[in-house]
Amino acid sequence: MTSRRPLRSAAAALGFVAIATAVHAKDTGMAFVSSEKDNALAVIDVKTLAIVGMIPTCKRPRHMQFLPDGSALMVACGDSNRADLIDVAARKVVGNIPLGDDPEAFDISPDGKFAYVSNEEDGALNIVDLAAKKVTKSIPVGKEPEGVKASPDGSRVYVTSEVANMVHVIDPAAGKVVKNIQVGKRPRRFALTADGAELWVTSELGASVSIISTGDLSVVQTINFEVKGMRPDDITPVGLTLSRDGKTMFVALGRASHVAFVDVASRKTTKLVLVGKRAWNVTLNRDGSRLFVANGLSDDVTVIDVAQAKAIKTIPVGRVPYMVVVDD
Amino acid sequence: MTEQARRCATWIVALALGFAALPLQSAAATFTIGVLSRADDERLDPHRTELAYLGHPGGPLSQSVEVAIKESQFELDAANLQVKIEAAQARDATEAQSVMQRLEKAGAVAIIIDLPADWISRAAPAVKLPLINAGEPDDTLRAAGCQPNLLHTYPSERMRADAIAQMLTSRRWSKVLVLHGTSQEDAARLATVQASIKRFGLKPVATRPFKLSADPRERDLANPLLLTANLDYDVVWVVDSDGEFARSLPYRISLPRPVVGDGGLFAVAWAPNFERFGAPQLARRFLRGEGRAMTGHDWAGWIATKAILQAALDKALTPAAQLKAFVQPAFTLDGFKGVRLSFRTWDRQLRQPLLLTDGQGVIALAPGEGILHPTNVLDTLGADAPEGLCKTR
């Protein structure tokens, strides 16, 4: 940023720029990192793996996701009770959406109309109408909801409660919890398998991943992790994501400072890659060759070469990095 | 308030239904938790609590119980369980015993207690149901005076002293000047501190009593400058159960050195400004529900309730089943301190990290990095299994 003017004009435009009119984003060749104590996103050039800029945003940015039409990056801010919409090409905030108290994570409905937001403070899943920019429903769930995942057909929303140790299955149309599934302690994040038959959920204090059958909504298996030289109590899985070929699940093991490569078919950990402290959320680039890991306690992002299962670079970013979104 | 109402305030936690219980089942199973504290508790005199000494209670035990139940309402509803709280107070050991017996007869699955050590020692053998001590740090209750039905969520005095000693070891502040009060309680706590100093290889430079006084003839005992002069030390460790002397000790000693113990840097079970492991959410829930900051005593009451609820959700709905559940190796609790917590099988003390705080922020956690233990590093705080101090299993 060369002067303060562009910032001010961006601020003046807040609320007036409709989502659909902001057409940039995608193919910027950049990765964006939210850090809880920065109120800004760090911009990483995916080719050089260097920080090339910062985008000021709302307070305590955490979960980020592109809108389905790619028009903007939606960033949920816990301390601002809203999401900012960011034009990643212009690196500017172009709008915002109220999300309710202390939003942490969210997912967007497959039709792009709604955001499903976990609100830590209220113990609720809020349904936000993205066009109207309004919370339309608030569904009480167990305390401290966190991970949110919409099913690909839009009929269900899954949300974890860190206190209730449950996955709540919600019918978003009816605005109701249809099932509570008991999983390991402090459940955090979700990933679906390629065929959509399994929902994997990490348990931070269970040191495990619970696999839920999306057919009968029961836990079919629990994967426990072991890292040589680490006590079970040091293994605190949080983020996870599926490889592009659908064969491997990448699971960040938190304080164990490793990412586990888990073979989806056999449920076996095939590789462990050493990363920074408290490996949190993990994100792939578009072709799936590189994995970006946000390290919450070492204030950096580790980039893993997936084929070699090796960390190739660790990049200092902001304070308490939470998540990376790659737009290469 | 009538005597009856004061001694036994009973309420039923409201059924917050309509969204959670799925599918709506028939009659809910009800279980009772007893909450027993001391009547006319001097520690809770408003003039005392407003001073907010670290390591002292900030309000009644029942408040933390309430917060824990509210927080678990969703799971309780989903499991079709209803909790009834029987809160009672006792004036002495005899009354404590009769209240425990009454609650046991009435079918309580466990009682959370905040009572003086000698009351607990005398009353606990009269009942078989689990008693969870959420307020008394006395180590005797975890050693020679341990009882098969007595568990502890409040950290012991020794755990707190060990936490500070570990911190001093890791900083290499090994020369320790100990200042202590002269009450009976301070004498016992001084012995614990001295044992921790020895255990972690610190060097006591001198041990001196202090006295709160403005009498010029007693200035050698009362003046922090004189008390700390003509000695070489890295740190002053103050033992002051009352808190008034220790509060203003930092910055008043003769050398520019830190103060730890009951002044300066404290080891506590909980601090309301703790920022990690989801702690702010719990701290905020407590503040919103009870209108005051959450203390270590509140944390102990809260986690004791969570233990009972978790066992009940695992279908342990009798006192015997609860007691059995607590000491299972798989029974772990989430205390918002980043690691799994569980009860030690040898003395039924909840193993837990302690927070080292100056009251403004949490400076460090104990055990810190580099502290090692063959099985669980949390067991470097307090009495470990091989010591065999508690004979009742």
* C-alpha atoms less than 13 angstroms from C-alpha of B57 in its C-beta half-sphere: 25
Q: Is the pTM of this model over 0.90?
A: no
CB contact under 8 A, B20 and A140: yes
Q: How far is B259 from chain A (nearest CA, A)?
A: 29
Of A161, A177, A179, the CB nearest to B19: A177
Q: What is the DSSP letter of B18?
A: S
Mutate to test the interface with A, among B73, B281, B342 (most CBs of A within 10 A): B281
For residues B5 and A258, which has the higher predicted lDDT (pLDDT)? A258
pLDDT tens digits along B88-130: 999 999 999 999 999 999 999 999 999 999 999 999 999 999 9
CB contact under 8 A, B71 and A140: no
Question: Tokens 């890791």 correspond to what residue?
Answer: B170
- Ranked by mean pLDDT, the top range of A231-235, B258-262, B365-369 is B258-262
CATH number at residue A205: 2.130.10.10
What b/e readout covers B361-389, taking b as 16+ CB neighbours within 10 angstroms?
Answer: ebebbbbbeebeeeebbbbbbbbbeeeeb
Span B159-163, average pLDDT: 98
pLDDT surpasses 60 at B41: yes
Quick one: pLDDT at residue A26? Answer: 66
Helix (H, G, I), strand (E, B) or coil at A266: coil
CB contact under 8 A, A233 and B72: no
Mutate to test the interface with A, among B77, B276, B306, B334 (most CBs of A within 10 A): B334
- To the nearest 10°, the Cα dihedral for B241, B245, B249, B252? -160
CB A324 within 8 A of CB A303: no
CB contact under 8 A, A164 and B278: no
Quick one: pLDDT at residue A306? Answer: 98
Mutate to test the interface with B, among A185, A233, A236, A277 (most CBs of B within 10 A): A233
CB B139 within 8 A of CB B198: no
Q: Round to whole Å and give the CA distance between B177 and B163.
A: 17
What ipTM does this complex have? 0.78
* Domain ranges for chain B: 3-155+270-352, 158-268
Say which CATH topology domain B158-268 has.
Answer: Rossmann fold (3.40.50)
**A-chain residues near B285 (CB < 8 A):** 143
How close are the terminal C-alpha atoms of chain A, in Å?
22
Burial class (CB in 10 A: 0-12, 13-18, 19+), B322: buried
Residues of B within an 8 Å Cβ radius of A: 19-20, 22, 71-72, 74-75, 78, 278, 281, 284-285, 332, 334, 338-340, 376-377
CB contact under 8 A, B334 and A177: no
Quick one: pLDDT at residue A230? Answer: 85
CB contact under 8 A, A205 and B332: yes
Structure tokens at B146: 């341990």
Q: What percent of chain A has pLDDT over 90?
A: 85
Quick one: pLDDT at residue B26? Answer: 58
pLDDT surpasses 60 at A2: no
Chain B residue with the nearest C-alpha to that of A119 = B281
Which helix (H) or strand (E) is A54 found in, with range? Answer: strand A50-56
Quick one: pLDDT at residue A15? Answer: 39
Q: Establish if A75 belongs to a structural domain.
A: no
CB contact under 8 A, A163 and B334: yes
CB A300 within 8 A of CB A317: yes
List of E strands, chain B:
8-12, 29-38, 81-90, 108-114, 131-133, 150-152, 175-180, 203-209, 235-239, 259-261, 266-268, 333-334, 340-343, 350-351, 354-357, 362-366
Q: Establish if A173 belongs to a structural domain.
A: no
Number of structural domains chain A divides into? 1
pLDDT tens digits along A269-321: 999 999 999 999 999 999 999 999 999 999 999 999 999 999 999 999 989 99
Chain B residue with the nearest C-alpha to that of A166 = B75
pLDDT tens digits along B170-184: 999 999 999 999 999
CB contact under 8 A, A142 and B74: yes
**A-chain residues near B338 (CB < 8 A):** 236, 255
CB contact under 8 A, A176 and B278: no
Q: In whole angstroms, how far apart are CA B144 and each of B158, B191, B326?
A: 14, 16, 21
- Same fold across B3-155+270-352 and B158-268: yes
Q: Establish if A194 belongs to a structural domain.
A: yes
Q: Establish if A53 belongs to a structural domain.
A: no
Q: Establish if A151 belongs to a structural domain.
A: no
pLDDT surpasses 60 at A177: yes
Determine phi and psi for A97, rounding to 5 degrees. Answer: -135, 125
pLDDT tens digits along B313-349: 999 999 999 999 999 988 999 999 989 999 999 999 9
Span A132-158, average pLDDT: 95
Instruction: List A224's β-bridge partners, or say none.
Output: A208
Q: Round to whole Å and give the CA distance between A264 and A195.
A: 11
Q: How far is A318 from chain B (nearest CA, A)?
A: 17
Q: How far is B79 from chain A (nearest CA, A)?
A: 10
Nearest Cα neighbor of A83 from A51, A46, A41 is A41
Q: Which domain holds residue A305?
A: 187-328
Q: Round to whole Å and give the CA distance between B266 and B291.
A: 24
Which distant-in-sequence residues (6+ apart) come within 8 Å of A111 by Cβ?
A68, A154
**A-chain residues near B71 (CB < 8 A):** 143, 163
Mutate to test the interface with B, among A79, A143, A234 (most CBs of B within 10 A): A143
pLDDT tens digits along A19-61: 333 334 568 999 999 999 999 999 999 999 999 999 999 999 9
CB contact under 8 A, B22 and A140: no
Question: Tokens 């050398």 correspond to what residue?
Answer: B255
**B-chain residues near A255 (CB < 8 A):** 338
For residues B355 and A231, which has the higher predicted lDDT (pLDDT)? B355
**Average model confidence (pLDDT) across chain A:** 91
Nearest Cα neighbor of B206 from B173, B230, B181 is B230
Quick one: pLDDT at residue B393? Answer: 67
Of A162, A180, A205, the CB nearest to B340: A205
Of B22, B334, B377, the CB nearest to A179: B22
Superfamily of domain B3-155+270-352 in CATH is: Response regulator (3.40.50.2300)
Mutate to test the interface with B, among A180, A230, A238 (most CBs of B within 10 A): A180
CB contact under 8 A, A143 and B376: no
